[in-house]
Amino acid sequence: MKKAEIYLEYMPYIDYAPKSPKQLHQEACVNDDITISSWRKTWEKNVKMNHELFGPFENKSIGKFYGKAHQKPVVIAGAGPSLKNNAHELKKRKDVTLVSCLHNFHFLEDIECPADYYVTLDAGEVTIEEVYEGGSKKEDEYWSITKDRKLLAYVGTSPNLLKKWQGEIYFYNAPVPDKDFMKYCDDIEIFNTYLSTGGNVLGASLYFAKAFLGASIIGFIGADFCFSYDKKFHAWNSKYDEKLGHVIRTKDVFGNSVYTWQSYHNFKGWFEYITLSVPGVYYNCSEGGTLGAYAEGNIRSIYQLPLADFLRQMNMYEEIEAQAKNTKVVEKKLLF
């Protein structure tokens, strides 16, 4: 018997989030002190070593890409489970820039949709195995592919990850609410090329796309901030699926109940704070997940749109290219 198809409809829009931008920001920052105390020594060690290996950072700054997508759309890719449903549409993106979390490296390379920029933020060694975990190729094959790719790395990134990367590496700094740590970094090198991250790598990708590349329109994909309905956290099998741990329930963009971790629910709030506070046009093209979703509906500061529709909207003019370049073209086509 043929399986019945299920059609999901986005929840209606609501004009205002049930929480103020200030409250969303406060919730996103609630774990800052714990994070700093847990990672400070590692950050210090990594910054020092990276400067010795690759410095001065200013010679390899992400500032090199300032304005490269000025007034253009940019897609930023998180590592949520929805990627497996629509990431293949990226083959149609043409000159739309793609900025992706490094964790998606193997997945995007496997489907032949490499990102223009891969971004890494975390300081732990786990970032190394995340490059190839769940991929279809051998580990060495993925590292070989990196020779033709660009990596944007936090100065406190694991040096062992950067040693394995064979392609171009560019650095950025990140504001940490700890004066002593920031002074430690300045004593090594005053490097004021900052990405505001919200504590997560997709946040760094957003700031890079918006503030450095100059994007006027942002399209999110893989920005689920929750488990899929079959309790997968990524678009591939990973260790995070083995045990959910302590989870909470919340609503996704279709109004369905989903599981997530509190930390990722807080990350979601940071992105909503940005869309409510920073001028721009924001589309959630994840086609799932919780970005913008509340029990009352989806907030209007984030448009919910399938990725295929978003990309067609950005490249629609190309559909009449033949007519524009040849007035005698046989095909007669109107866009609308």
* Interval 75-114: pLDDT, tens: 999 999 999 999 999 999 999 999 999 999 999 999 999 9
* Amino acid (1-letter code) at residue 291: L
Residue 105's pLDDT is what? 98
Q: What's the mean pLDDT when you consider all of the chain?
A: 93
Pair type for strands 150-154 and 257-260: unpaired
Residue 6's pLDDT is what? 67
Residue 5's pLDDT is what? 62
For residue 237, name the pLDDT band (cuts at 50, 70, 90). Answer: confident
pLDDT surpasses 70 at 294 = yes
pLDDT tens across 185-228, in order? 999 999 999 999 988 999 999 999 999 999 999 999 999 999 99
Q: Alpha helices, DSSP H only, in the chain?
A: 21-28, 32-54, 83-86, 105-110, 126-130, 139-145, 159-164, 179-188, 201-207, 262-277, 307-315, 321-325
pTM of the model: 0.94
Closest CA to 284 of 251, 318, 309, 264: 309
pLDDT tens across 5-24, in order? 667 899 999 998 998 889 88
